[in-house]
Amino acid sequence: MKPPLPFIDLAAQRQKLGKRIDERIKTVLDHGSYLMGPEIEILEQVLVGRSGRRHCISCASGTDALQMAMMALGVGPGDRVIVPDFTFIATAEAVRLVGAQPVFADIDAMSYCLSLDSVESIFEDDDSTIVGVITVDLFGHPSQSRQIEDLAGSRGAWLIVDAAQSFGATRGGESCLAPGVMSTTSFYPSKPLGGYGDGGAIFCDDDGLAGDLRSIRVHGSGEVAGSHDRLGITGRLDTIQAAVLLTKLEVFDQELECRQKIASRFGQALGESIRVPSVEDGATSVWAQYTVEVDDRDEIRQFLNEVGIPTCVFYPRRVSTNLPYRSFELAPDGVPVAERATSRVMSLPMHPYLTDSDQDRIVSELLQALEN
Ligand SMILES: Cc1ncc(COP(=O)(O)O)c(C=O)c1O
């Protein structure tokens, strides 16, 4: 194996980062603008610069971001929205929260992202009330968002990119946040850009839409002080979270490089023994998760757990098998790829500060588990 990451003293960097975050939080505590403080606008400007979009509207979570995006588009009862059946629940949940119906599509076997063919088959079957499609950049890998946006557009439907897991990923030289009428992300603590609590953001290019989103974020507040022009929510990002995120953004690119190197090492060491994730040509992943596929998942997880290596299963069941979603339709050809993934995927520990010896131990114990 190659010597890992000799150019960064990871422990020192982590300690310095923690100290800078503490200082920046202290600044917020001193000025006392806990909501919509100056750090919010600074963060939004920095995120605009990284997204290739004209506007960034920070908000309280990635789920709120999706819900607010659909509220701004006027999505509601009678509308159907295509979502993947293999994703975190929030993608479909946001559709239900605005009163619309999810239509569950299959995923691509290589990337685990929404399948273009499956989306097409849903449109072919009955496109009458489909108003939009939400792609999800699963595990940090960007979806085929531009192709899906073109397909949706040809049917008069919009695209929203759920980039909750992929902030920083690119495809075709552009940010994964660039396609669609809007894109959304999450700053949940375990995300590649994670805060010290919940947080999210919406990205768009349209000035009118951006204004509506800023209003929805604060109970539909109107131009005239004290007026409310539309329905809204308590959707603001806390200023303290903005302060944390601004500090983490200072090292974000370096952290992505670390994730990339760890993913390459895992791939080289494990690729001949199990199915490891791959990245499509022209795309970059941010490795929110390093997800492999194995046959005897329960046994392997148990073995790893016993030797102190935690693993997670994202996701053990399809979204549409959960109680609130069971009555909604699936793609005409079903969702066999999503179904297969639920029984095989397993995510290994992945974060930028995984030491060399941690990585070696994960690899050797997993190889051992596979031999048993
Ligand atoms: C694909 C996806 N969409 C939406 C969300 C919702 O984000 P949040 O937890 O910030 O509400 C998540 C978060 O885990 C996610 O992974």
Pairing state between β 283-284 and 290-293: unpaired
Determine the distance separating the centroid of ligand 1 and the alpha carbon of 364, expressed in angstroms. 32
Cα 13 from Cα 15, distance rounded (Å): 5
Determine the distance separating the centroid of ligand 1 and the alpha carbon of 203, expressed in angstroms. 15
Structural domain including 159 reads: 10-249
Based on the domain organization, do 128 and 18 belong to the same domain? yes
The reply to whether 5 falls in a domain is no
Based on the domain organization, do 367 and 346 belong to the same domain? yes
Residue 90 CB contacts under 8 Å (≥ 6 apart), including other chains: 62, 63, 66, 162, 164
- Token pair 């020192």 is found at 12
Question: How many structural domains comprise the chain?
Answer: 2
Based on the domain organization, do 172 and 133 belong to the same domain? yes
Cα 290 from Cα 349, distance rounded (Å): 7
Q: What is the pLDDT of residue 4?
A: 44
Determine the distance separating the centroid of ligand 1 and the alpha carbon of 63, expressed in angstroms. 6
Cα 175 from Cα 170, distance rounded (Å): 4
What's the CATH number where 263 sits?
A: 3.90.1150.10
Q: What is the pLDDT of residue 5?
A: 42
Based on the domain organization, do 191 and 303 belong to the same domain? no
Based on the domain organization, do 21 and 136 belong to the same domain? yes
The residue among 249, 280, 298 that closes a domain is 249
Report the nearest atom of ligand 1 relative to the CA of 165. Answer: 16
Q: What is the pLDDT of residue 7?
A: 52
Based on the domain organization, do 61 and 33 belong to the same domain? yes
Based on the domain organization, do 80 and 97 belong to the same domain? yes
Cα 113 from Cα 291, distance rounded (Å): 13
- Compute and round to an integer the Cα radius of gyration of the chain: 21
Report the nearest atom of ligand 1 relative to the CA of 199. Answer: 10
What's the CATH number where 240 sits?
A: 3.40.640.10
Instruction: Give the Cβ contact number of residue 339 at 10 Å.
Output: 16
Closest C-alpha residue for ligand 1 atom 8: 62
pTM (global) more than 0.85:
yes
Based on the domain organization, do 33 and 135 belong to the same domain? yes
CB 205 within 8 A of CB 54: yes
Residue 317 CB contacts under 8 Å (≥ 6 apart), including other chains: 342
Write out the two tokens for 4: 């890992």
Ramachandran class of 305: left when φ > 0, alpha when ψ lies in -120 to 50, beta otherwise: alpha
The reply to whether 214 falls in a domain is yes
Q: What φ, ψ does residue 237 adopt, rounded to 5°?
A: -80, 140
Based on the domain organization, do 126 and 191 belong to the same domain? yes
Cα 183 from Cα 16, distance rounded (Å): 32
Cα 205 from Cα 54, distance rounded (Å): 5
Determine the distance separating the centroid of ligand 1 and the alpha carbon of 88, expressed in angstroms. 6
The reply to whether 288 falls in a domain is yes
Beta bridge partners of 228: 221
Write out the two tokens for 9: 């003293």
Q: What is the pLDDT of residue 190?
A: 96
Encode the chain (372 residues) as per-residue pLDDT tens digits: 444 444 567 788 888 999 999 999 999 999 999 999 999 999 999 999 999 999 999 999 999 999 999 999 999 999 999 999 999 999 999 999 999 999 999 999 999 999 999 999 999 999 999 999 999 999 999 999 999 999 999 999 999 999 999 999 999 999 999 999 999 999 999 999 999 999 999 999 999 999 999 999 999 999 999 999 999 999 999 999 999 999 999 999 999 999 999 999 999 999 999 999 999 999 999 999 999 999 999 999 999 999 999 999 999 999 999 999 999 999 999 999 999 999 999 999 999 999 999 999 999 999 999 998
Based on the domain organization, do 269 and 129 belong to the same domain? no
The reply to whether 36 falls in a domain is yes
Cα 51 from Cα 199, distance rounded (Å): 17
Write out the two tokens for 246: 């601004």
Provide residues with CB under 6 Å of ligand 1.
61-63, 87-88, 90-91, 136, 162, 164-165, 186, 188, 198, 200
The reply to whether 263 falls in a domain is yes
The residue among 185, 217, 249 that closes a domain is 249
The residue among 249, 273, 299 that closes a domain is 249
The reply to whether 81 falls in a domain is yes
Pairing state between β 170-171 and 130-136: unpaired
Based on the domain organization, do 241 and 213 belong to the same domain? yes
